[in-house]
Amino acid sequence: MHLSKVLIIEHASRQGTGEALCTAINAQKEFPVVARRTSPEDAPSALNLFSPQVVLVDMDSIRRSDGLALGQNIRDQNNQLKIVFMSDRANPSFAKEALLSSISGWSYWLNKPSSSVRNVLVALDDAISGDLPMDAAVLDEFLTEDNFKGILSPRQHQALNLMTQGLSNAAIATECNITTKAAERVIATASDLLGIPAGGDKFNRRVLTVLEYLKVLALK
């Protein structure tokens, strides 16, 4: 595990999940990870003193707009720092804004905190390497077949939804109960409909398709 330091930001007047998670991380013995909890007001100084690799923002103790502004301020202070927004409930409006932020490469969404500290630490470790996939529960809050009526078919919508979760074409085929070749055709056609150019040495068409799909969803 590459993760060693996590800074948890939680409003001082609403201590709860963040404080409990901080205590649990420091108590566990499996990974050499240290956690610190701070308030939004003290976050700038805590960043300098603690130098975390990941910042975990408890969105249930901070207003949505304040949380996103805080994330942007943190990124202005350190544009390499990974930020994970945490909530125990899905918020469609926030999810859309977080999706737009993730497209620009600086935020991730951990939709529902796990009761397993190990699972949380593994997810945060994934955030460092950029491998944390989009949580399907976030997308489900504002995805319906009507989102792309007249543009993408329900099958194309399903395939791209699965692709945002990091699934391979073979795994997508299994989930959709079709062959891998059929899944490849579905994805290729959806990419064409989204206006994604053919791939080459410079661009990865699969990545561009996922980014465009998330961008359109977030702007809905």
Per-domain residue ranges of the chain = 5-134, 143-219
Residue 145: the pLDDT is: 42
For the chain, the farthest-separated pair of C-alpha atoms sits apart, in whole angstroms, at 54
More confident of the two residues 220 and 57? 57
pLDDT tens-digit map of 95-118: 555 555 554 555 555 555 566 888
The CATH class of 5-134 is: alpha beta
Residue 110: the pLDDT is: 57
Handedness of CA 170, 2, 72, 20 (dihedral sign): positive
Residue 81 pLDDT greater than 60, yes or no: yes
Nearest to 193 by CA among 162, 166, 164, 155: 155
What is the average per-residue pLDDT within 196-220? Answer: 79
Residue 1 pLDDT greater than 60, yes or no: yes
Query: How many residues can be counted in the chain?
Result: 220
Handedness of CA 115, 116, 121, 124 (dihedral sign): negative
Residue 6 pLDDT greater than 60, yes or no: yes
Q: 5-134 and 143-219: same fold?
A: no
Residue 69 pLDDT greater than 80, yes or no: no
Task: With H, G, I as helix, E, B as strand and everything else as coil, classify residue 110.
Answer: strand
Report CA 125 to chain centroid distance, whole Å. Answer: 13
Backbone angles phi, psi at 143, to 5 degrees: -100, 130
Highest-confidence range of 60-64, 123-127, 186-190, by mean pLDDT? Answer: 186-190
185 close to 176: Cβ distance less than 8 angstroms: no
The CATH class of 143-219 is: mainly alpha
191 close to 160: Cβ distance less than 8 angstroms: no
pLDDT tens-digit map of 15-40: 777 888 899 999 999 999 999 999 99
Helix (H) or strand (E) holding 109: strand 107-110
More confident of the two residues 71 and 40? 40
pLDDT tens-digit map of 142-190: 444 445 545 677 788 889 889 988 899 999 999 988 889 889 988 998 8
Residue 186 exposure: Cα atoms within 13 Å on the Cβ side:
24
Residue 46 pLDDT greater than 90, yes or no: yes
Rounded CA gap, 16 and 14, in Å?
Answer: 6
Percent of the chain residues topping a pLDDT of 70: 71
